[in-house]
Every structure is written in C-alpha cells, then in structure tokens.
C-alpha cells in the first residue's frame, strides 16, 4: 500500500506537472484540483456506503420512502455541494485573472507569438530588440502578463508549474498573467494539437532574480 501511494504521488511532480506549482496561479489551479478530487472521493464513499447498507442491512432502504430518496438524494444532497464547488471555482478564476495575487499591481508585458512549430518572445517594455526563441525570460516575484498570438493556426501556451493555459489565435491577442515564486527553470508546451510538429513544440521558461533580468535580456539583444 505504501509503495502504491509513493508511485501515485511521484506522478504529481516533474517539469510539466500542474500539481507541483511554482507560482500563485499554478498553486490556485492545484488547490482547485485537490478540492474537486477530495469532494468526489467523499461523495463516492457516501454513495457506495448507502448502496452497501441497502444490500447488507435488513430493511435499510425500506425505512425511507421513494420520494425521500429522489428528493433527498437527487436534489437536497447534490445541489449544496455543487453550489459550493462552483462558487469556489469562480472565486479561484477571479484570482487567476489577477495573476494569482490578492491585489492588482505593476505587471510586465511580454509578447508571445506561436508559429508551427516554435515560440518567439519579445520584451517591448525592456529591450525592444530582444527576441528569444524557445526561451521565455521572466523576473521572479513579479507578475507577468503574456500577450499571446499566432502566425498560422490555433496553438495553446501552457506552463503547468506557473499557470493555466491560453489559446494563441491568429489575428487575435489573448492574455495570461502568471508569476514565478523564485528563480528557476520551468517547462512549457503547446497544449493544442497543431500539426505534425506539435509534440516537439516546447519551450523553456527561465525565471531570473530581478537583479539579473536586464542582463539576461541584454544577452538576447546581442544575438
């Protein structure tokens, strides 16, 4: 049993694991996932328990009227649970729109453009000439707003350990806010099937200390 639990939990970590968050947005998504999982397990145990009671406890099911089972089990029980989970999901959604912060503050705008089959990033607020292909540079501890678009077909930008995913649509710009808690390297990928090269359409996110961020962009400008 212990080995099975270890194997199951080991699958929750890794460079592309949404359950191993490294930023507030990803942590919010992971919390929502765990809440939904725990709620579904509790409901499953309750339903199975009632089923077993009707099978093994004499006259258990007959003590209550069919109307009670329909109204109680079909309306009274699930509606409050669904309402609570829906409210929590919307609350977390609003939190994600703010980039995983409790207040709106300064953000850094970075442009992300998808092509088959690569990602290019521009940094207009810092170095207009800095363009990085396959590597997104961000400062750790600062909310970053990605302006995402596409040159050809619909792609989807996803950095599992930092935030949710957002579609890259030709002729349209979508926005995604995220933040890295600390300096480090994180994996990103296209999460929308876009053709033969989709599987290799990955990129790297390099979160720098704020003091090192300008130097990293300067190196991209030199190339």
Q: Could you tell me the pLDDT band of residue 204, with boundaries at 50, 70 and 90? A: very high
Q: Over 50: is that where the pLDDT of 177 sits?
A: yes
Q: Which CATH architecture has domain 108-222?
A: Sandwich (2.60)
Structure tokens at 1: 């049993």
- Summary mean pLDDT of the chain: 85
Give the pLDDT confidence score for residue 193 in this predicted structure: 94
Q: How far apart are the first and last CA of the chain?
A: 53
Three-state DSSP state, 196: coil
Give the pLDDT confidence score for residue 2 in this predicted structure: 45
Q: Over 60: is that where the pLDDT of 11 sits?
A: no
57 contacts: CB under 8 Å, gap ≥ 6:
none
CB-side exposure of 181: number of CA atoms within 13 Å? 12
pLDDT tens digits along 34-73: 998 998 898 889 888 888 888 888 777 777 777 887 887 7
Give the pLDDT confidence score for residue 85 in this predicted structure: 87
How many Å apart are CA 164 and CA 162, to the nearest integer?
7
């Amino acid at each position: 049993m212990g080995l099975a639990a270890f194997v199951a939990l080991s699958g929750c970590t890794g460079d592309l694991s949404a359950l191993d968050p490294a930023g507030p947005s990803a942590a919010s998504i992971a919390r929502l996932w765990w809440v939904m999982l725990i709620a579904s397990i509790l409901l499953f145990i309750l339903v199975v328990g009632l089923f077993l009671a009707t099978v093994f406890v004499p006259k258990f099911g007959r003590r209550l009227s069919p109307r009670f089972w329909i109204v109680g089990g079909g309306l009274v029980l699930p509606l409050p649970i669904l309402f609570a989970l829906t409210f929590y999901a919307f609350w977390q959604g609003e939190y994600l729109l703010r980039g995983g912060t409790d207040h709106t503050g300064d953000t850094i705008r970075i442009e992300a453009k998808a092509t088959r089959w690569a990602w290019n990033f521009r940094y207009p607020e810092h170095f207009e000439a800095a363009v990085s292909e396959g590597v997104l540079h961000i400062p750790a501890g600062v909310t970053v707003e990605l302006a995402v678009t596409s040159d050809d077909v619909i792609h989807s930008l996803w950095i599992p350990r930092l935030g949710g995913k957002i579609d890259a649509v030709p002729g349209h710009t979508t926005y995604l806010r995220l933040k890295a808690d600390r300096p480090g390297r994180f994996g990103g990928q296209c999460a929308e099937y876009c053709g033969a090269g989709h599987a290799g359409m990955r990129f790297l996110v390099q979160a720098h200390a704020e003091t090192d961020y300008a130097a990293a962009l300067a190196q991209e400008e030199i190339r």
